[in-house]
């Protein structure tokens, strides 16, 4: 399982924009420099973020991108969904869509495992805001959350 470059880059961009929230908009090219992401790729990603309503663009000189909402109202879940379309795929659709011998219908034992994993990942992403990431030195992001500690290790 992996984090794609789109997700990694989009998160960098959003964190940078969050740090600049309230100030002048940042041009895409400037963002590319700051976050060390290929310039043309940055534009592609920003388009997706804009279409998802997460950033606002301003054309002309002194234009650029800025956050549409304050950092504490933007979650990683929103960012991931904006660039990848969804947080976690529907496994059943992928492997057995419409087929009679679907292993995920009715008595299927495995399907709930993937479904629950998707919930867990989604909920975690929903719990992390850009503001929390910016404040991580205070421990609001880097620390393992209490609910995670409660999960008994397997075996």
Q: Which residues bind DNA (CB under 7 A)?
A: 2, 4-6, 9, 25-29, 38-41, 43-44, 46-47, 50, 57-65
- Catalog residues that contact its own copies under the rule CB under 8 A: 1-3, 5, 8, 11-12, 15, 35-36, 73, 75-77, 84, 87-89, 91, 94-95, 101, 103, 109-110, 112-114, 116-117, 119-121, 123-129, 133-134, 136, 141-142, 144-148, 150-155
Contact indicator for 96, 102 with CB cutoff of 8 Å: yes
- The CA distance from 22 to 127, in Å, is 23
- Residue 124's H or E segment, with its range, is helix 111-127
Task: State the nearest-atom distance from the C-beta of 23 to DNA, in Å.
Answer: 14
Task: State the nearest-atom distance from the C-beta of 148 to DNA, in Å.
Answer: 25
Task: State the nearest-atom distance from the C-beta of 55 to its own copies, in Å.
Answer: 17
Half-sphere exposure of 140 (CA within 13 A, CB side): 12
Contact indicator for 44, 4 with CB cutoff of 8 Å: no
């Amino acid at each position: 399982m992996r984090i794609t470059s789109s997700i990694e880059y989009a998160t960098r961009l959003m964190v940078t924009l969050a740090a600049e929230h309230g100030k002048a908009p940042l041009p895409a090219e400037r963002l590319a420099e700051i976050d060390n992401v290929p310039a043309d790729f940055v534009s592609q990603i920003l388009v997706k973020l804009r279409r998802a309503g997460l950033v606002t663009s301003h054309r002309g000189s002194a234009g650029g991108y800025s956050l549409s909402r304050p950092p504490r109202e933007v979650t990683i879940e929103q960012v991931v969904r904006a660039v990848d379309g969804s947080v976690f795929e529907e496994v059943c659709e992928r492997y057995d869509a419409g087929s009679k011998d679907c292993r995920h219908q009715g008595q299927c034992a495995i399907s709930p495992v993937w479904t629950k994993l998707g919930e867990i990942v989604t909920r975690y992403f929903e719990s992390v805001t850009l503001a929390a990431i910016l404040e991580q030195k205070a421990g609001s992001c880097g620390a393992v959350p209490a609910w995670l500690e409660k999960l008994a290790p397997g075996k």
